[in-house]
Amino acid sequence: MNNKLLISSSAKKTIRESAQLANELNTGLEISRLPFYKNINTSENDVILQLKEDLKDFKNRITVHALFSDLNIATQDLLLRKTVELRYTQSLNTAKQLKADTVLFHTGNKGTLHYGSQESFKRNFICFWKDFIKEFEHSNITAVIENVFETSPYYCLDLTEKVNSNNFKLALDSGHVNLYAHNTKVVDWIKAYNKNLYHMHIHNNFRTNDDHSNLENGTLDYNEIFSAIKELNLSPSIVLEMFSEEDIRKSIDFINRFNQK
């Protein structure tokens, strides 16, 4: 498992500091919370140049968490959709420039249940991604879709199957399952995703808040989760999506203890 282990760039106050920590821990780094939020009027090129400077001494694997705040590519509003397309394209361009191999996206689905909403969401989502995924295929980058508010593993699984590309895979966020999908367990999702499970965000919580705490501080049983991954002979990349160095170190210790069993 360790050869595919990453930490989030949100682990420290700056991306440069997070990269230094990843170097020390000999892990990869997922670039999250891209600076486009706070520097909305900064040019894309300037942001990428700053990222390259921050990462100039980092030699390990890089993945990118795409921009996601308030973004829904399946929106019916065409002007809003253009904005989402721009943000998604900026995220992909960043990945290309940083030589990242994976870009993670949220579905943008809020789970609205009124008549026809989910059918419309899926139709627009699939239509966009069938075209956009060609950019990833051309660049040899994998796009992964992460669950947030989804309550069943089969929702995202259906989306990826319908887009039908080797460069379009699934990301499983265990903390989100614990928080939003109370009728299922993370192990259920792992079994359902099976060979389509390409990427994971792991953290813990007590089912009341998205705490992003260490692997032993919450209601999730990571011995059970890691055992399921091992039994199915899966090897997803795993991001310790925690926002403190202490939680990351505790979680790495837990993983090391599990691997020694």
DSSP code per residue over 5-25 = EEEEGGGSSSHHHHHHHHHHH
Position 1 scores a pLDDT of 46
Distance CA 191, CA 188 (A): 5
Strand, helix or coil at 73? coil
Which residue range forms the structural domain that includes residue 119?
2-259
Distance CA 146, CA 170 (A): 6
Higher pLDDT, 61 or 112: 61
212 burial (CB, 10 Å; 0-12 / 13-18 / 19+) is buried
CATH number of the structural domain spanning residue 237: 3.20.20.150
Q: Are 165 and 128 in contact, with CB atoms under 8 Å apart?
A: no
What average pLDDT does the structure give for the chain? 95
In the chain, pLDDT over 70 holds for what percent of residues? 97
Give the number of domains in the chain.
1
pLDDT tens sequence across 142-154: 999 999 999 999 9
In the chain, pLDDT over 90 holds for what percent of residues? 89
Q: For residue 219, what is the enclosing H or E element?
A: none
Amino acid found at 67: L
pLDDT at 217 over 50: yes
Q: Where are the beta strands (DSSP E) in 94-244?
A: 102-106, 142-146, 168-173, 197-202, 237-240
